[in-house]
Amino acid sequence: MTTFVHSEQFRIPLAIRPPSARTVSSWMLTHPDVLPDEDRLRMKIAVAHCPELEALAGHIRSFGQMLTRREGHLTQEWIAAVRADDLPGLHSFANGLERDLAAVVAGLSTPWNSGVVEGHVNRIKMLKRQMFGRAGFHLLRKRVLLA
């Protein structure tokens, strides 16, 4: 729907506001199959107007595939492809991956994760926050062991 500004002689269409960076990044980080058709179309329009966004979207998609398919052995190739493009934000991400490459490759390759342990740590921290300033260590210990 186009909105018009009325003047005495002309009807001038208002410019459609481009999407925010937050909106575009949420489109890029959402799996294309889950993205609604309207957002998918708006994403294509945004990418068509900015070649850097097209390269960024491609790198994000390929990294997402590495995550979901457990293809950690492709990490070095992905980093080399990122370095070939002029995307400083991804360069700093690639630098972070290279700092501990062995752990990144293992994390992207193996089916194991620390989700259960992190869940218990989160539960214990929540109990600690609930009990802060109300009771001593002994009651906190009982709640952690019995909960």
pLDDT digits (tens, 9 = 90+) for 80-131: 999 999 898 899 999 999 999 999 999 999 988 888 999 999 999 998 888 8
pLDDT-based confidence at residue 3 (cuts at 50, 70, 90): low
Rounded to whole angstroms, the Cα distance separating 28 from 10 reads 39
Q: Report pLDDT digits (tens) over 11-23.
A: 555 567 888 989 9
Helix (H, G, I), strand (E, B) or coil at 143: helix
* pLDDT value at residue 18: 83
Tell me the CA distances in angstroms from 93 to 64, 69, 79, 96, 133, one per residue in order.
14, 20, 9, 5, 40
Give the pLDDT band (50/70/90) at residue 143: confident
CA atoms of 44 and 48, how far apart (whole Å):
6
CA–CA–CA angle 92, 93, 95 (5° rounding): 60
- Cα distance between residue 138 and residue 124, in whole Å: 14
| Domain locations in the chain as residue ranges | 4-109, 115-146
Angle of helix 51-69 versus helix 75-84 axis, rounded to 10: 170
